[in-house]
Structure 1
Amino acid sequence: MKVLATSDLHGDLAAARKVVEAAAAADLVLVAGDIAHQTDGLGPILEVLAPLGDKALLVPGNAESVDALRLATDLTVLHGEEVERAGLITVGLGGAVPPLGSEGSWDITEEEAERLLAPFDTCDILLTHSPPKGVADVFGPMGSIGSTALLEAVERMQPGLMCFGHVHDCWGQEGTVGTSLCRNLGPGLYWCDL
């Protein structure tokens, strides 16, 4: 299956149009959060992404809550849920994990992330907004800001692919956790065959 993935569009309509154009060649399209900027512009960018239809799976970032995202689109939004598309099981979790604590950030505690992911034993794709601890997660002087709950989840589930964004300094970087490829997407077009 041909998977197209992106993250951190932050309201960039031109970048969203590129995703939609490229999606004609994809079986599945993943969007790993921060679709808008603090929910500003969520409507217009989701209107651009709407033609993705059933191919698309989204998780909220820390720039939009799961409720705001679900109210604004008919596309599938995952947060502590799984879905099967194109023969692949995807588990999704949004928000900033661990919490950023900055004004307007939609944050999830490590404990909440652990609770939401606990029901899932395995998946083909783990789609999150935040990175696992120690993989493409270094943010300037703050250092590693990845999630221990997400690291434990990827260690336990061993998906073929874990996609995330959130840490702009590490866009395009990847690493492995066990047999899982973990990729910090950024707003470009990332292709993967699963």
Structure 2
Amino acid sequence: MRILAFSDLHMARARAADIVAASAEADLVIGAGDFGNQRRGVDQAMAMLAGIDAPFVMVPGNNESLDELHNAAPEGAHVLHGTSVTIEDVTIFGIGGGIPPLPMCDWSWDFTEQAAEALLAGADGADIIITHSPPRGIADVVRGLGPVGSVAIGEAIARVQPALAVCGHIHDCWGQEGMVGATRVVNLGPTVNWFEV
């Protein structure tokens, strides 16, 4: 399966156009959250991505809630949060939101580590895990704050060992990656990223 994945679009029209154009070659498109800005513009972001015809799986970021993404998502898209979907024999689990909450964002859609741990209990058997937040220790360093990734996400990836785990959220670390056991973990950013699973 040829997968195109991105995160943190934040309503960037040129980036959206690149993603839509590339999606013609994809068997699956993954959006790892933050389509809008500070809980606004999700409808406009989805309109920018309207040309995607491949199966589209997404999670909310911290810049939109689950309900806000559900309401804006195109018909047929799969919005995941503590849930999974199977496409062409590939099982994809997703969880959105900022985990753990960042201290400087009172508008942010966030979860504690304990709440995330409960949601991540359903990840067993996944071939791909999509999270908005990175696991602790991989592509998670914010300038001036240090590492802000999620312990619960890291533990879930270590337990499940999917073929691939993708995330976003931490803009300073777009394009960075690492390993959790045998699992490749990539902080995507708003560019065209290709994977084979």
Same fold (TM over 0.5): yes
The answer to whether 1:166 aligns with 2:185 is: no
Moved over 6 A (4+): none
For normalisation by structure 1, the TM-score amounts to 0.96
Counterparts of 2:10 and 2:158 in 1: how far apart (Å)?
A: 30
Identify the residue that residue 57 of structure 2 maps to in structure 1. 57
* Sequence identity (%): 47
Number of equivalent positions: 194
Correspondence 1:169-180 to 2 at 5 A: 169-180=172-183
- 1:53, distance to aligned residue in structure 2 (A): 4.7
Q: Distance in 2 between matches of 1:113 and 1:173?
A: 23
Q: Structure 2 matches for 1:23-34, cutoff 5 A?
A: 23-34=23-34
Q: Which has the higher helix share?
A: 1
Question: Retained in 2: the 8 A contact 1:28–1:86?
Answer: no
The correspondence of residues 1-194 of structure 1 with structure 2, limited to 5 A, is 1-53=1-53, 55-73=55-73, 74=75, 75-101=77-103, 102-194=105-197
Gaps of 5+ in 1: none
Q: Over aligned residue pairs, what C-alpha RMSD do you find?
A: 1.1
User: Which runs of 5 or more residues in structure 2 are unaligned?
Assistant: none
Structure 2 length-normalised TM: 0.95
How far apart, in 2, do the equivalents of 1:71 and 1:13 lie? 20
Q: CA deviation at 1:20?
A: 1.1
Distance in 2 of aligned mates of 1:38 and 1:46: 15
